[in-house]
Amino acid sequence: MPREGILVRTPYERITDEQVQQIHHASMEILSDPGLISFNKDAAEIFRSNGADVTTVSSGDNPSWLIRIPEELVLSAVDSTNKTVKLGARNLENILVMKGDEPRVFFITGSETNTWLDVDFQTYVRKSEPATEIRVPEFHPRRGTVADLCKSAHVCEHLQTVDGYIRTVNIQDKDITEDNKDVNKFFASLNNTTKHVMSGLTSLHQLDNVVRMAELIVGGKEQLKENPIISFITCLVKSPLQFVEDTTDTFIEVCRRGLPVVVSSSPQAGTSAPIRESGIMAQINAEVLAGITLSQLVNKGTPVLYGSVPVRARMDTLGDSYGSVETSQYNIDCVQMARFYKIPNYSTSGVCDAKIPGQQSSIGRLFSDLVVTLSGPQFLHCAYGLLDCNAIFCLLQAVLDDAHFQMIKFLLKPALIGEKEISETLTQIREVVATPQKMYIRHIRPVMRSGEISPPYPFEGDLASDNVFALAYERMNELLAKPVEHIDSITTSKIFQEIPGLLPRLNVYEGRS
């Protein structure tokens, strides 16, 4: 049985059907005029050979081509996409099945941050009353390592609401180079979680090693097709409307191998996209559709996700403001656009502007987590532990976010109202109003133990003081102490023999008898 996620039975829609059509038509116009600039020759050739109008813009060291994509080419590509995308997992119970027209949400980690935030607790003494001590969390940023990536995958394996794992931190150890980064980040993730693993690729040269590693884990090429335990994110489009040379190469190669891939576009309203909602929506939709079209021209039927990471610019710095309300609005619009094309949507929430866990981060992320979930994206990423937009990852925050998602999932449980329930209710009401005390408390008990009552907030203190961080920290350490199911020793041995560049310290069996 695959993971259930949570089905949003009546998704929140921000834009009307007419507005969806208006955005769609505007995107079609954009793709034919002004079209996209491609810095990737193969992409230009593929579009040219399939009937797009391709002209050379510049040649020499940095050649580029203008691609004008006719509407019928885009619509035909949209038609040929798989409307159901399956993301496999080492544990078959963790497989994700996403249908483009079904608002069933899966909650995923990510995205890759450079900074890992350590937490420790210091004790302070009140000056005026030295007997009074308080414990206060302190946060220490540092560069992420492969050990951190293992630790984060380990905890996310045990977090109840995490449905899949996108690498949370960029591994920057001294012995990590461009040539071995991909194999190590995929192995560190796959070895510490049995959930689906998705990542970007640093070097195209590592693609086949990563794919081979996955084949060794599942037992072969065909098995990997049947159970794609890995998938890829590619930012092939740079806003506004440009195919990037290297990431487009990666994208094309992933498509050729038929593995699931996200076409991700992340325009910023105000700088790389128009500031108004209509503008950023028309542009991001055009950018994602251009990538989806390319995927189907390379390999018809490539499982592809409509990846949207729109954001509004801050007015003080023109940096990203993921915590802005508009960012959630854009994401909801994108969910609706993807559903219009019946392509599963890779959406974004839970990214906040705050640099440390605290009230701002809680308010910002819970707001976007809730409203974007209500719109019914299939693959909701960035949802755990991200701070300072997507620059910092904090494992403690991921544990706190899991509690948010438990609440959101509970909220979206179907209402238990039917003939049986109404009949029982009438009997109960008649019975209780006839008693002198008129209390329904007696009837709580069977419901309380059936799972119908939402649990209390897991990090609730004594209500007179706020111990949320300390309790979440305890929980995080409990989860780290729980074992995870690593890749078995024989497969691990094969992987280390066959895949070059893996760090010996990642072999959990090394040194064991």
Cβ 432 to other proteins shortest distance, Å: 12
Cβ 456 to other proteins shortest distance, Å: 10
Bond before 357 cis per omega within 30 degrees: no
Residue with smaller CB distance to other proteins, 123 or 437: 437
- Interface residues with other proteins (CB under 8 A) are 436-437, 439, 441-442, 444-446, 448-449
Residue with smaller CB distance to other proteins, 123 or 450: 450
- d(CA 150, CA 142) in angstroms, rounded, equals 16
DSSP class of residue 464 equals S
Residue with smaller CB distance to other proteins, 437 or 465: 437
Q: 């593929």: which residue's tokens?
A: 46
Bond before 103 cis per omega within 30 degrees: no
Residue with smaller CB distance to other proteins, 178 or 421: 421
Residue 161's nearest CA partner among 387, 343, 322, 400 is 400
- Which phi and psi (to 5°) does residue 491 adopt? -65, -40
Residue with smaller CB distance to other proteins, 301 or 455: 455
- d(CA 240, CA 280) in angstroms, rounded, equals 10
Q: Which residues of 369-398 are buried (b: 16+ CB within 10 A; e: fewer)?
A: bbbbbbbbbbbbbbbbbbbbbbebbbbbbb
- In the three-class reduction of DSSP (H, G, I as helix; E, B as strand; rest coil), residue 36 is classed as strand
Q: How far is CA 210 from CA 88, 236, 430, in A?
A: 15, 19, 65
Bond before 111 cis per omega within 30 degrees: yes
Residue with smaller CB distance to other proteins, 456 or 483: 456
Cβ 205 to other proteins shortest distance, Å: 55
Cβ 370 to other proteins shortest distance, Å: 27
Cβ 439 to other proteins shortest distance, Å: 6
Cβ 410 to other proteins shortest distance, Å: 17
Q: 């706020």: which residue's tokens?
A: 466
67 — alpha (psi -120 to 50), left (phi > 0) or beta? beta
Residue with smaller CB distance to other proteins, 444 or 480: 444
Cβ 450 to other proteins shortest distance, Å: 11
Q: 């194999």: which residue's tokens?
A: 183
Cβ 421 to other proteins shortest distance, Å: 17
Cβ 462 to other proteins shortest distance, Å: 13
Cβ 438 to other proteins shortest distance, Å: 8
Q: How crowded is residue 418: how many other Cβ atoms within 10 Å of its Cβ?
A: 9
Residue with smaller CB distance to other proteins, 436 or 504: 436
Roughly how many angstroms between the first and final C-alpha of the chain, as a whole number?
36
Name, in order, each residue with C-beta under 8 angstroms of 38's C-beta and a sequence gap of 6 or more.
44, 47, 54, 64, 65, 66, 67, 242, 243, 248
Residue with smaller CB distance to other proteins, 121 or 440: 440
Residue with smaller CB distance to other proteins, 41 or 443: 443
Q: 């976010």: which residue's tokens?
A: 401
Q: How far is CA 346 from CA 87, 376, 379, in A?
A: 12, 11, 5
Residue with smaller CB distance to other proteins, 134 or 444: 444
Cβ 509 to other proteins shortest distance, Å: 40
Computed on alpha carbons and rounded to an integer, the radius of gyration of the chain in Å comes to 25
